[in-house]
Amino acid sequence: MISQSTASSVKESATTAVSRPRLAFLGVGWIGKNRMEALIKNETIEVAGIADPSRDNLDAALAVAPNATTYGSFEEILDSDVDGVVIATPSALHAEQSIAALNKGKAVFCQKPLGRNAAETEAVVEAARRNNLLLGVDLCYRHTCFRQIHDIIQSGELGHIYATELTFHNAWGPGKEWFYDPKRSGGGCVVDLGIHLIDLALWTLKGTKVQDVCSSLFSGGSTLKDPETQVEDYATALINLTNEQQEKTAIHLNCSWNLPAGKEADIQANFYGTKGGVAFRNINGSFYDFRALRLNGTQTEVLFEGPDEWGVRAVGEWAERLAAGKKFDPEANTIVEVAKVLDRIYGRI
């Protein structure tokens, strides 16, 4: 763990502003290209280069960034003079590629999960700390209207939060076959969907520690029998937290792929406190539109509702901080804590 004094010295270390950081984009499929287009629009960065094994993906990216260099390999990116790398490759590559880029002096923004397990995740965060470089992970739901819920809970208005219900059901499943190989993905719906909700809970319920975790994992309607060859498509977990006053918070997580939920997606994060509640919920089965609610007895107050271009805010914030010369932020340690909870759900620790 980093002490408060050490964290302060790292955070306040000399920051040299980078005028329009030069970035390389490793993986320019739908997600990678979407991020690149958003950063081009707000003129925060320069697209220095792109790399992708798919010629179609490269051509589509070059249509948006015609002056970008096409790198033939990740090693060429490492040997280039770019300031940072935006990584959108399969999960099995995230930790290795992130560490290599950080060790070459390049800031990193990576698609989640940062690693397939806590050990890989911790190794990436340590590389960022050691090299004093900015690290970002696309835990993008922090940048939705959920931020209003976060701020209300942090203000203490709701008293002690004693119960949290987290749900992410996807009526579909991932289209790429590597998602179903645990060695390449790190797991199924928990590491794909549940990670977002666990991140929101731990980020919001600061000052708590995980006491115990109990979980059940299923594949095709049956108990998951071989985690070496199978991934879960339904999971439920009870995560108990405690704070310094030894007060408990119970988190109940449910997530799935291909669940007959009657709509495309059911996404919820409900927090109940001794002085009221708040809720984050998707609208009409949408993956993109959300509402933030304040709950008081039988009354519901709508804090936010409707369309919101939140999907690229995480990478946008990272790019702006990089342009301002920001270095390693100890907040990255939260990513490790999330990964440790995932490991406990999977029974790895």
pLDDT tens for the chain, 349 residues long, are 333 333 333 334 445 555 789 999 999 999 999 999 989 988 889 999 999 999 999 999 999 999 999 999 999 999 999 999 999 999 999 999 999 999 999 999 999 999 999 999 999 999 999 999 999 999 999 999 999 999 999 999 999 999 999 999 999 999 999 999 999 999 999 999 999 999 999 999 999 999 999 999 999 999 999 999 999 999 999 999 999 999 999 999 999 999 999 999 999 999 999 999 999 999 999 999 999 999 999 999 999 998 999 999 999 999 999 999 999 999 999 999 999 999 999 999 8
Nearest in space to 208 (alpha carbons), one of 54, 64, 337, 29: 337
Helix (H) or strand (E) holding 166: strand 161-170
Predicted confidence at residue 16, as pLDDT, reads 58
Nearest in space to 271 (alpha carbons), one of 160, 136, 140: 160
DSSP 8-state assignment for residue 66? T
Alpha-carbon distance values, 296 to 162, 198, 277, 299 (Å): 15, 24, 6, 5
DSSP 8-state assignment for residue 89? S
Predicted confidence at residue 12, as pLDDT, reads 40
Predicted confidence at residue 18, as pLDDT, reads 56
Asked if residues 336 and 117 have their Cβ atoms less than 8 Å apart, the reply is no
Asked if residues 335 and 121 have their Cβ atoms less than 8 Å apart, the reply is yes
Beta-carbon contacts of 38 under 8 Å, excluding residues fewer than 6 positions away, are: 312, 315, 316
Beta-carbon contacts of 349 under 8 Å, excluding residues fewer than 6 positions away, are: 118, 340, 343
**Torsional sign, CA 183, 185, 186, 190:** negative
Residue whose tokens read 């949408």: 286
Dihedral of CA atoms 200, 324, 37, 40 in degrees, nearest 10, equals 160
Helix (H) or strand (E) holding 320: helix 313-323
Alpha-carbon distance values, 4 to 12, 210, 290, 328 (Å): 12, 21, 36, 14
Predicted confidence at residue 43, as pLDDT, reads 85
Asked if residues 276 and 295 have their Cβ atoms less than 8 Å apart, the reply is yes
- This prediction has a pTM of 0.92
